[in-house]
Structure 1
Amino acid sequence: MLNEPITKVISRSFVIKDANIDTDQIIPARFLTTTERGALGEACFHDWRFTPDGAPTAHPLNQVSRDEQRILIAGDNFGCGSSREHAPWALRDFGVEAVITSRAADIFKSNALKNGLVVCEIDEAAHAALLDREDLEVTVDVVNQTVTAGNITASFKLDPFARTCLIEGVDPLGFILNQSDAIARFEQESAA
């Protein structure tokens, strides 16, 4: 269950221009041993950020201010590859609250939205403009389904149910649990 409603994400951005970033790059398989959220931030993009012996690399991800840069501008086809819910968990634990791309893998997008990570698929022209600018002040408006950064404005679409869950601050199970009184009334009326 999510904790807080997500209506807007306002933050500086960071950019990963690479296309076809798969879930194994986001969270390598050897880190999939946990079912608890909160501890995967250091494993996020681990093989890019660290050498095999654990020393930090010169990768730009190691320069990201995780408190101030919470919006990732990602290359096309982000989150492709195998289905792993750990990928959005790792991104959230790394500090990412929204991913902006021209296209995200369907399963990744579904998993992300269920876990409070907003995925915005925007048109290619706006996406290209954002990819060329590092460290922008960006606003992701979940209610109005827009991305704004300086003079760039783009719209994105969210599944209506996923949008409702984000705005209400619940995951799908939490949404159902919030309907327990209505479900009980329905069951009583149906039994009569």
Structure 2
Amino acid sequence: MTPFTTFTAVSASLPDADVDTDIIYPARFLLITEKKGLGRYAFYEKRFDPAGAERPDFLLNRKPFREAGIIVAGANFGCGSSREQAPWALADLGIRCIIAPSFGEIFFGNCFKNGMLPIVLDGEPLARLRADAEAGAMLTVDLDTCLVIRPTGDPIAFTVDPWRREALLNGWDEVSTILARRSDDIAAFERHQQLARPWLWQRDAQENDAHG
């Protein structure tokens, strides 16, 4: 997974509330299981008409917003079904950060698992960022300091769970996170098991000898 440290990109405002995962990634594309290339299907019904032509009234089809990497969204973004293709499609589209008052719970967790940073903000800080996004401003999200830096230079602070922040900063998926945080425990367990149940390790030893 690509680490998320500091990310600078065009921002876009999608203020509608309750944008569910079926809007983000329509169900008719669920038979596609490859991550690569899914960006073409993100917001498909909103981006394209029935003939497949771009809808000029959809924000992400217009400059500079078609280059957006940061979305300032409405409340309950990513609600609905648990389909992981929704964050896959957004990531493939180039979106790495979504800022909203609230998120669908499963979508929120899936963002972190796919190298994306969902930020919960509300009130006046969100209003300032939405104004920036409506203008297509460049924003910088610094996960190390937990700040969103605006074109005016005044930063807006945000919070993120420490363990999720650490995983994003290091580019750890779930397996990498366990190996990094519990490596001593894993090694101790393996040493104990090798002594208590050596027959479980005989096949590995034989295979290593065969390839050594």
TM-score under structure 1 normalisation? 0.88
Cα 1:189–1:138, aligned 2, differ >3 Å: closer, same or farther?
same
Cα 1:86–1:64, aligned 2, differ >3 Å: closer, same or farther?
farther
Determine the structure 2 residue equivalent to 1:143.
Answer: 144
Q: Does 1:164 align with 2:129?
A: no
Q: Does 1:120 align with 2:119?
A: yes
The C-alpha deviation readout for 1:37-72, integer Å capped at 9, x for no partner, is 111111000000111221211112112557842111
The one-letter code matched in structure 1 to 2:44 is: H
The one-letter code matched in structure 2 to 1:40 is: L
Larger radius of gyration: 2
Within 1, Cα distance between the matches of 2:192 and 2:123? Answer: 50
Within 2, Cα distance between the matches of 1:80 and 1:88? Answer: 12
Q: Matched residue of 2:90: which SS?
A: helix
Paired positions, count: 190
Higher share of residues assigned helix: 2
Within 1, Cα distance between the matches of 2:9 and 2:100? Answer: 16
The one-letter code matched in structure 1 to 2:12 is: F
Q: 2:177 aligns with which of 165, 175, 178?
A: 175
Q: Does 1:42 align with 2:40?
A: yes
Report if the CA contact (8 A) 1:66-1:94 is conserved: no
Cα 1:180–1:34, aligned 2, differ >3 Å: closer, same or farther?
farther
Q: Matched residue of 1:56: which SS?
A: coil
Shift of 1:35: 2.4
Determine the structure 2 residue equivalent to 1:76.
Answer: 75
Q: 1:190 aligns with which of 189, 192, 210?
A: 192
The one-letter code matched in structure 1 to 2:140 is: T
> Greater RCO between the two (CA within 8 Å, min separation 6)?
1
Within 1, Cα distance between the matches of 2:72 and 2:168? Answer: 20
Determine the structure 2 residue equivalent to 1:57.
Answer: 55
TM-score under structure 2 normalisation? 0.81
Task: Note the aligned Cα RMSD (angstroms).
Answer: 2.1
Determine the structure 1 residue equivalent to 2:26.
Answer: 28
Shift of 1:100: 1.1
Report if the CA contact (8 A) 2:10-2:64 is conserved: no
Report if the CA contact (8 A) 2:64-2:136 is conserved: no
Q: Runs of 5+ in structure 2 lacking a partner?
A: 196-212
Within 1, Cα distance between the matches of 2:179 and 2:65? Answer: 33
Within 2, Cα distance between the matches of 1:45 and 1:64? Answer: 17
Within 1, Cα distance between the matches of 2:66 and 2:170? Answer: 24
Within 1, Cα distance between the matches of 2:183 and 2:125? Answer: 44
Q: Does 1:10 align with 2:8?
A: yes
